[in-house]
Structure 1
Amino acid sequence: MRIRAKVAAVTVTATALSAALAVTALAAPAVADGQDETPTKITNIDVNHSRDSTVVVGAALKTRFLISATAYDPSGIRSVSFELEHQTNAGEVDGRIAQIGPSHCVKVDATTSKCESVMIADPNTNLYTNAVAGAWGINVVAVDGQGDVTRENYLPLARIKRQTQLSQADATPEPVKKGNAVTVKARMLVASWEQHKDVPLVGHQVLLQFRTGTTGAFKTVQKVKTDRNGWAKGTVKATVDGQYRYDFAGTSLTQARSGAADFVDVK
């Protein structure tokens, strides 16, 4: 069996590369005429059927999601497996999520298969710290019909984010006299994988939004930062009846969220 590896963004010195090639030349078996030397081609990687390959995980419960890809090889596809990997800023691996059981592969034709695997993100095991939130790389191992192995290490494609909670807005006073100030509060929480509970999301910007009546689009009327307890508090002038809510755009580490609205009657 030959192992063929293709790694994204790998840097080696010229000396190390020459040595590696020399060893490979000595160790590699002779290739028979007609032998397939083409690495298996991996395309259409899909994470969690999400447009931006995002998986949102709560404070304590396991989250099951799927990874799939299309694999092509002239000799056909025997199997494909996946692994997620998180790295520190120093490039060290500090998190792995392996697939659960074998992949399920469906033949498209004699050379191409679509393979899908079940993954589980668990704050009790592989998400042991909040520091692993963010971008994760995807490692793919494909075995073709001749038993040859291709390893593809992709740069970060998946995003695993901490789940957020945004409470319903609470506007006071109600009703309010036209032209007077109305104060709107809501609380923002985020999953802590370390504490296994939701904790205040501190110092993040949320948008206080308003719409006239109960239909139509919300428009931002004020930008507010959450305090040390996760509370957002904004004050605006009341002019017409309508609904107030808070909206959080999310970050590369945390889920976007819109809170429920509170209707204010203006007298």
Structure 2
Amino acid sequence: MRIRATVVAVTGAVALSAFVVPAAQAVGGDAHHSVDTLKALHAAASGRSTFTGATGESGTPYALDAKFTGVSVNNGKPIVAGTSGRVSVPVVFKVTHGAGVDVTAGDTELDVMLYRGPYSEPVNFLIGDDYPTCTNTSATVAACRGTIDILPGEELENADATGWKAAGFIVDWNDVDPFADDVDFSKVGFTENSALTTAKLQRLSKLTVNAAPEPVKKGKTLTVTGKLSRANWDSGTYAGYSTQPVKLQFRKKGSSAYTTVKTIKTSTTGSLKTTVKATVDGYYRYVFAGTSTTPAATAAGDFVDVK
């Protein structure tokens, strides 16, 4: 498992220098290199001879004959995260490469990550805890699987509930020691691809319902309350989602289908409250259709006994 990544902005360097991983392990091995080494590689690839934090590097990495294809993040579905814990979603892709490239070699590193904002200076990025595993399916194609691992409480803010893009990089060290004081980058192969696919992050939503009084006499008024809340990544709590349309639905006892009774909006604090006439035994629930930043939510039905 590698150390979690830290955003490092390097104006003028190639794109990945803005969010290289500070410690990364070679595929199938435990070797680690520093953020300065990766920054040096990216700077060298962009034609920059020097930059802060690295000295003695020489040469320009040659363009590695490889590219990413068929990238899919979370099977194309939005990534939904709460306020704590870890969210891991699958990433699958292929690497098409020249016959002389072996992406499964111990001194080759590759990964796919998500970034938000411009590729040259991303606002935020997300990457897996471990490198993907790749299997050669032919002399020029490797199929790879990995994950994007997210710690919402540490890595996300509310502005991250939006569209992201995927980028990938491959480094073939060709037995060059990345720990050396003087790294000859002319012997190192390197490639990167941006905008490989898109992904959407959403703030987990929760919805509750309570119909009262229970039991209730036929023809009397039922008050149905509830609350729509969603993850607030800025505060690490769940907060009410205000002024959102929510459907009140009813399912008669013995039936399998819900019908919509009415649509109301949440208050400024996310609260829901409305009244209906009690007619027959059945279940009441609230249903939220979702928005671009927040997934749909459905409250568990609350049974009401009508006397």
Give me the TM-score of the superposition, normalised by structure 2.
Answer: 0.65
8 Å CA contact retained: 1:222, 1:234:
no
Confirm whether residue 87 of structure 1 aligns to residue 87 of structure 2. no
Provide the secondary structure at the position in 2 that maps to 1:125: helix
What residue in structure 1 maps to residue 292 of structure 2? Answer: 252
2-structure distance, mates of 1:234, 1:92: 48
Query: Cα distance, 1:215 vs. partner?
Result: 4.3
2-structure distance, mates of 1:235, 1:117: 50
Query: Cα distance, 1:152 vs. partner?
Result: 2.3
2-structure distance, mates of 1:161, 1:139: 20
What residue in structure 1 maps to residue 205 of structure 2? Answer: 164
2-structure distance, mates of 1:202, 1:77: 53
Provide the secondary structure at the position in 1 that maps to 2:284: strand
8 Å CA contact retained: 2:64, 2:191:
no
Q: Number of residues paired by the alignment?
A: 231
What residue in structure 2 maps to residue 139 of structure 1? Answer: 167
Amino acid at match of 2:79: V
Query: Cα distance, 1:196 vs. partner?
Result: 1.1
- Superposed, which structure 2 residues align to 1:202-217 within 5 Å? 202-213=242-253, 215-217=255-257
1-structure distance, mates of 2:69, 2:216: 61
Structure 1 residues 104 and 156: alpha-carbon distance in aligned structure 2, compared to 1, 3 A threshold: closer
Provide the secondary structure at the position in 2 that maps to 1:46: strand
2-structure distance, mates of 1:261, 1:57: 24
What residue in structure 2 maps to residue 42 of structure 1? Answer: 69
Provide the secondary structure at the position in 2 that maps to 1:202: coil
Amino acid at match of 2:93: A
2-structure distance, mates of 1:143, 1:237: 67
Provide the secondary structure at the position in 1 that maps to 2:192: strand
2-structure distance, mates of 1:107, 1:219: 52
- Superposed, which structure 2 residues align to 1:225-240 within 5 Å? 225-240=265-280
Amino acid at match of 2:135: V
Provide the secondary structure at the position in 2 that maps to 1:102: coil
Confirm whether residue 153 of structure 1 aligns to residue 194 of structure 2. yes
Query: Cα distance, 1:63 vs. partner?
Result: 1.9
8 Å CA contact retained: 2:113, 2:126:
yes
1-structure distance, mates of 2:133, 2:196: 24
Query: Cα distance, 1:178 vs. partner?
Result: 3.2
Higher strand share: 1
Deviations 1:102-158 (CA, angstroms, capped at 9, x unpaired): 22112222222211223222234321x2111121111122468x9754432227611
Structure 1 residues 213 and 131: alpha-carbon distance in aligned structure 2, compared to 1, 3 A threshold: same
Give me the TM-score of the superposition, normalised by structure 1.
Answer: 0.74
Provide the secondary structure at the position in 1 that maps to 2:159: helix
% identity of equivalent residues: 31
Structure 1 residues 77 and 222: alpha-carbon distance in aligned structure 2, compared to 1, 3 A threshold: farther
Provide the secondary structure at the position in 1 that maps to 2:292: coil
Provide the secondary structure at the position in 2 that maps to 1:131: helix
What residue in structure 2 maps to residue 189 of structure 1? Answer: 229
What residue in structure 2 maps to residue 60 of structure 1? Answer: 84
What residue in structure 1 maps to residue 30 of structure 2? Answer: none
What residue in structure 1 maps to residue 8 of structure 2? Answer: none
- Superposed, which structure 2 residues align to 1:100-139 within 5 Å? 100-127=129-156, 129-139=157-167
Give the CA RMSD over aligned residues.
3.2
Deviations 1:164-218 (CA, angstroms, capped at 9, x unpaired): 2212x21123233334332211112211111111122222221111111154122
Query: Gaps spanning 5+ residues in structure 2: where?
Result: 1-13, 15-45, 48-59, 104-108, 175-187
Query: Cα distance, 1:74 vs. partner?
Result: 4.3
Provide the secondary structure at the position in 2 that maps to 1:221: strand
